[in-house]
Amino acid sequence: MILLGLLTLVVLAAANIAPTPLDHCAAIAGKQWVSPLEARSCMHSFPVDPVVKENIIEVVNKTIAMHTSVNYQIQAPKPFDKARYTDVHEDLHKDLARISQQGYQSEFQFHLDLFHTFRRLNDGHCVVINYCYDSLYISYLPTPLVLLTGADGRQNVHIAPEAFAVASTEFGDEIEFWQDSLPGKLKGQLETLNGAEVIAINGQDPFVAVDANALVTGGYQSFGTRQNSFFSSYYRGSNGWLYQMGNFAQQVHPLTDVVKLTIRRINSTSIDIVTLPYRSRFGLASKNFTDSASYRANNCLATNETNGVDMYAVSHSTAQQHSEEPLPVAYFQQQPLISRKEARRHPMNVFIDALPLSNIDLPEVMQPSEPALNESYSVAQFYMLSDNTTGVLALGSFSAANFSAFQYSLLDGLVKLKSLGATQLLVDVTNNGGGYICIAHWLHRIIIGSRSTTEPQAGLDTTTRAGPLAQLIVKKIVKDGMDPDTLLYYNPTQWTNASNIPFSAETEWLEPLQKVSINGHEDVFSQRLGQECQPFDVEAPQKGFFKAKDVAIISNGRCASSCSLFSITMSKLEGVRTVVVGGKQDTPQQYCGIVGGQSTDFSTIDTEIKSVHLKNHTLAPPDLLANIVQGITWRLGYGINDPMEPEEWQDHAADINFPLTMETVNRPIAIWEAVAKEMFSIATPPPLLVQTFD
Ligand SMILES: *[C@@H]1O[C@H](CO)[C@@H](O)[C@H](O)[C@H]1NC(C)=O
Ligand SMILES: *[C@@H]1O[C@H](CO)[C@@H](O)[C@H](O)[C@H]1NC(C)=O
Ligand SMILES: *[C@@H]1O[C@H](CO)[C@@H](O)[C@H](O)[C@H]1NC(C)=O
Ligand SMILES: *[C@@H]1O[C@H](CO)[C@@H](O)[C@H](O)[C@H]1NC(C)=O
Ligand SMILES: *[C@@H]1O[C@H](CO)[C@@H](O)[C@H](O)[C@H]1NC(C)=O
Ligand SMILES: *[C@@H]1O[C@H](CO)[C@@H](O)[C@H](O)[C@H]1NC(C)=O
Ligand SMILES: *[C@@H]1O[C@H](CO)[C@@H](O)[C@H](O)[C@H]1NC(C)=O
Ligand SMILES: *[C@@H]1O[C@H](CO)[C@@H](O)[C@H](O)[C@H]1NC(C)=O
Ligand SMILES: *[C@@H]1O[C@H](CO)[C@@H](O)[C@H](O)[C@H]1NC(C)=O
């Protein structure tokens, strides 16, 4: 929050302390918890190295040539053109030119400018993240917030009722720091803040802070979804139920020192003002250091994994193809860690955030008390509600460690729910950042059954950007036979044309090129591509498990990438209803965001370039010198309602914005029961957009 103001303060502070000979990094070396000021004093202590700065800008600039959305994002079309709600209008090339010219007091300041430039895209596929600065220290408060609706229908921001349970378990002894920081009679009484109404944040209406955060948090086009990111929520992880603190109580950079909350505690008649300091914790992927030199050496320099490799160089081929190690970008992908091997085998579409996925547990009392069905696997958990008619699939991701086991689990779980008598299905995709594209297609196909909307294409047609370097890579593969083992994404044989016919190895598949003008810029894309998922490895039953009218998809709006592919096809093609929980009443809520089509990252593109020996080409990005990952959208899905334009900027308005209460918030079972009651008691669902034939 209020990042820009604080940034200025920090810069001034850095300018004042710059001449001191202190090693600010040595001062905090080995400490698990530090103050934000201590962390940023260390992080601001490195001047810009002009060679590194130029290298980063060159790599980033040349890599976005493969990002599909650059020209759209200069000014996103309707409904994402409105200043208040979404406002995607970021000209990356213009800003990179500005940043290239601009001087900075520290490398951290330079990085923050670059980082926020990409965040303004509000596109969780296209980001620049530096292991040297982002989530190196994560700053926390023990008071995550929630937005609740009272019996009178009015919405208020509250401290989460579970705040103390979460914080005291997760932060251990550090909780004493916050206990001691409370004023007067509240000292040591942190638990009594649970559920308190938040009347003001830093003396202003709480939504001033919520909306300020929405302007910088990035990730989703929709303003409402970015508002929701401020609040805490839950997530179904591969090993259990997890808790997301939300942007208020968990921050990527140590830029905020304290927050002043004006609160009314439960059963209290008085109004209390508490000033809570943030505390910064050493990140899970951060590398130990003893001083500035080792901080830099261990965290800031490119590693042997930062850049791509020539897959056909003897030293790399085996290591790359069989590696169980995830790519460096995987740490920030909002899905369970997936091995390089599995990621290469199954194309992904996944949200990248500057905060790694939370590993904070959802308090046990809030988790579903009945065990999930035995057919559950990893992020996919099946439950039967006590009404004996509503089946639930809690799906935290479209990726899991074993693709095949995951695919079987989704099928077997639905079979089991039906056999237990389920006649309606809730799919909870809260905080689902996407994952395997073909799992999204699979789930759509098996829930709905065999229909023209699910076979052969159960997802979206796509296109990829086809600039000169992309065209050259394809030529090297097709004409010069430089990918004999079919290891590369630019190889034609894994893709299909708009009739879903696979390309032969001789096809220069980007062509015929689609030349378009976007926001006054000439751009060029490949021909329209069909689906590559079917036939599936597992046989899908002919008949669907549930009628579309008996299915509802529920989330906090944070359903991205492959989760969008699934939700959009289910909603727009089948008429499945969508529910966002806990959104602000007067803000339009989108049931998903950042659709993409297939996402990738710099190192993967670099591998394509190196493997066809184009690294020396003037358009090829050089090797990165810094410990950076860059995400991009590599394929972009075409729309359903407007099939000639990207789905990315078409409307995904949720059918219902479902209010959360003190009793239901962050309790999955309570939410499912309340939503099921509301959704499935409605006699007539909205009309379907496409006629069903079954
Ligand atoms: C890093 O430091 C922490 C705490 O000082 C220690 O527990 C951990 O083992 C160290 N990690 C490595 C890889 O040295
Ligand atoms: C980025 O690349 C474009 C070509 O795509 C070039 O015109 C521009 O000068 C580059 N910008 C910077 C800052 O290097
Ligand atoms: C608030 O008061 C009600 C009624 O006396 C009581 O049931 C409830 O436990 C109290 N809650 C808290 C957090 O003290
Ligand atoms: C990078 O180096 C580490 C440690 O030396 C090694 O385990 C890993 O296999 C290397 N990765 C690659 C891609 O060479
Ligand atoms: C589910 O698995 C557990 C543990 O393996 C087992 O005890 C239980 O009987 C199984 N339940 C059913 C319905 O198969
Ligand atoms: C659901 O089924 C269980 C077990 O068969 C039964 O005990 C329970 O009463 C049923 N609940 C409802 C609401 O019908
Ligand atoms: C993945 O799951 C499949 C199907 O359940 C199983 O046959 C296979 O052995 C699993 N692979 C691994 C590496 O565990
Ligand atoms: C796809 O390829 C097949 C076989 O070459 C061809 O018959 C068909 O017209 C192509 N479809 C499109 C849309 O280009
Ligand atoms: C790039 O050019 C250099 C110098 O001309 C040459 O030594 C090198 O082999 C080239 N690399 C590739 C991958 O073509």
Tell me the average pLDDT of the chain. Answer: 94
Q: How far is the CA of 669 from the centre of ligand 5 (A)?
A: 21
pTM: 0.94
* Exposure class string for 163-193: b at 16+ Cβ within 10 A, else e: bbbbbbebbeebbeebbebbeeebeeebebb
pLDDT, position 20: 53
Output the residue whose Cα is nearest ligand 7's atom 9.
Answer: 405
pLDDT, position 85: 54
- The fraction of the chain above a pLDDT of 70, given in percent, is 93
Model confidence at 358, pLDDT cuts 50, 70, 90, reads: confident
Using CA atoms, how far apart are residues 257 and 295, in angstroms rounded to an integer?
22
Ligand 3 site, residue 670, Cβ cutoff 6 A: no
Residue 534 pLDDT > 60, yes or no? Answer: yes
Helix ranges (H only) for 153-235 are 163-171, 175-181, 206-216, 223-228
- Of the listed ligands, the closest to the CA of 315 is 4
Strand pairing category for 348-350 and 434-436: antiparallel
pLDDT, position 8: 45
Using CA atoms, how far apart are residues 613 and 415, in angstroms rounded to an integer?
49
Atom of ligand 9 nearest to the CA of 613: 13
pLDDT, position 323: 82
Atom of ligand 9 nearest to the CA of 310: 13
pLDDT, position 80: 73
Model confidence at 459, pLDDT cuts 50, 70, 90, reads: very high
Residue to substitute in 55, 70, 93 for testing ligand 2 pocket (most ligand atoms within 8 angstroms of CB): 93
- Of the listed ligands, the closest to the CA of 341 is 7
Mean pLDDT along residues 27-32: 98
What sign has the CA pseudo-torsion 249, 429, 72, 509? Answer: positive
Q: Is 250 helix (H, G, I), strand (E, B) or coil?
A: strand
The region of weakest confidence among 216-220, 582-586, 688-692 is 688-692
Nearest CA-CA partner of 636 in 219, 71, 119, 95 = 71
Atom of ligand 9 nearest to the CA of 615: 13
DSSP states of 642-677: STTSBGGGS--B-SEEE---TTTTT-HHHHHHHHHH
Q: How far is the CA of 389 from the centre of ligand 6 (A)?
A: 10
Mean pLDDT along residues 243-271: 98
- Of the listed ligands, the closest to the CA of 390 is 6
Model confidence at 88, pLDDT cuts 50, 70, 90, reads: confident
Mean pLDDT along residues 410-423: 98
Mean pLDDT along residues 306-315: 90
Residue 350 domain flag: no
Model confidence at 21, pLDDT cuts 50, 70, 90, reads: low
> What number of CA atoms fall less than 13 Å from residue 259's CA on the CB side?
28
DSSP letter for 541, please.
P
Cis status of the peptide bond prior to 468, with omega within 30 of 0: no
Q: Domain tally for the chain?
A: 1
SS (H, E, C) 583-601: CCCCCCCECCECCCEEEEE
> What number of CA atoms fall less than 13 Å from residue 208's CA on the CB side?
10
Q: How far is the CA of 403 from the centre of ligand 7 (A)?
A: 8
H/E element holding 554?
A: strand 551-555
The region of weakest confidence among 74-83, 485-494, 523-532, 554-563 is 74-83
Q: Is 287 helix (H, G, I), strand (E, B) or coil?
A: coil
Using CA atoms, how far apart are residues 511 and 410, in angstroms rounded to an integer?
37
Ligand 4 site, residue 319, Cβ cutoff 6 A: yes
Query: How many other CB atoms sit within 10 Å of the CB of residue 395?
Result: 27
DSSP letter for 459, please.
S
Residue 56 domain flag: no
Q: How far is the CA of 391 from the centre of ligand 6 (A)?
A: 14
Residue 81 domain flag: no
pLDDT, position 316: 66
Ligand 8: list residues with CB < 6 Å.
497-499, 501
Residue 468 domain flag: no
- The fraction of the chain above a pLDDT of 90, given in percent, is 90
The region of weakest confidence among 20-29, 47-56, 472-481, 646-655 is 20-29
Residue 173 domain flag: yes
Q: Which tokens sit at 120? A: 């303004």
What sign has the CA pseudo-torsion 255, 260, 264, 266? Answer: positive
Output the residue whose Cα is nearest ligand 1's atom 8.
Answer: 288
Residue to substitute in 191, 263, 267, 662 for testing ligand 3 pocket (most ligand atoms within 8 angstroms of CB): 267
The region of weakest confidence among 134-148, 196-210, 643-657, 679-693 is 679-693
Ligand 1 site, residue 290, Cβ cutoff 6 A: no
Q: Is 472 helix (H, G, I), strand (E, B) or coil?
A: helix
Q: How far is the CA of 210 from the centre of ligand 3 (A)?
A: 29
Name the residue type at position 144: P
pLDDT, position 79: 72
Atom of ligand 1 nearest to the CA of 30: 5
pLDDT, position 82: 67
492-502 pLDDT tens trace? 999 999 999 99
Q: How far is the CA of 506 from the centre of ligand 9 (A)?
A: 27
Ligand 9 site, residue 618, Cβ cutoff 6 A: no
Using CA atoms, how far apart are residues 391 and 383, in angstroms rounded to an integer?
6
Output the residue whose Cα is nearest ligand 2's atom 12.
Answer: 97
Residue to substitute in 28, 288, 298 for testing ligand 1 pocket (most ligand atoms within 8 angstroms of CB): 288
Token pair 């696979």: residue: 502
The CATH number assigned to the domain holding 202 equals 2.30.42.10
Domain that holds residue 271: 137-282
Model confidence at 78, pLDDT cuts 50, 70, 90, reads: confident
Residue 51 domain flag: no
Model confidence at 681, pLDDT cuts 50, 70, 90, reads: confident
pLDDT, position 493: 97
CA distances to 126, 221, 268, 535, 678 from 215, rounded to whole Å, are 16, 11, 34, 43, 33
Using CA atoms, how far apart are residues 507 and 32, in angstroms rounded to an integer?
55
Q: Are 335 and 137 in contact (CB under 8 A)?
A: no
Q: How far is the CA of 136 from the centre of ligand 2 (A)?
A: 30
* Exposure class string for 346-357: b at 16+ Cβ within 10 A, else e: bbbbbbbbbbbb
Q: Which tokens sit at 45? A: 């202590």
Residue 3 pLDDT > 50, yes or no? Answer: no
Residue 570 domain flag: no
DSSP letter for 333, please.
B
> What number of CA atoms fall less than 13 Å from residue 485's CA on the CB side?
10
Residue 560 pLDDT > 60, yes or no? Answer: yes
Q: How far is the CA of 267 from the centre of ligand 3 (A)?
A: 6
DSSP states of 39-55: HHHHHTTS---HHHHHH
pLDDT, position 694: 37
pLDDT, position 346: 96
Q: How far is the CA of 19 from the centre of ligand 6 (A)?
A: 73
Output the residue whose Cα is nearest ligand 2's atom 9.
Answer: 97
Residue 449 domain flag: no
pLDDT, position 84: 59
Q: How far is the CA of 93 from the centre of ligand 2 (A)?
A: 6
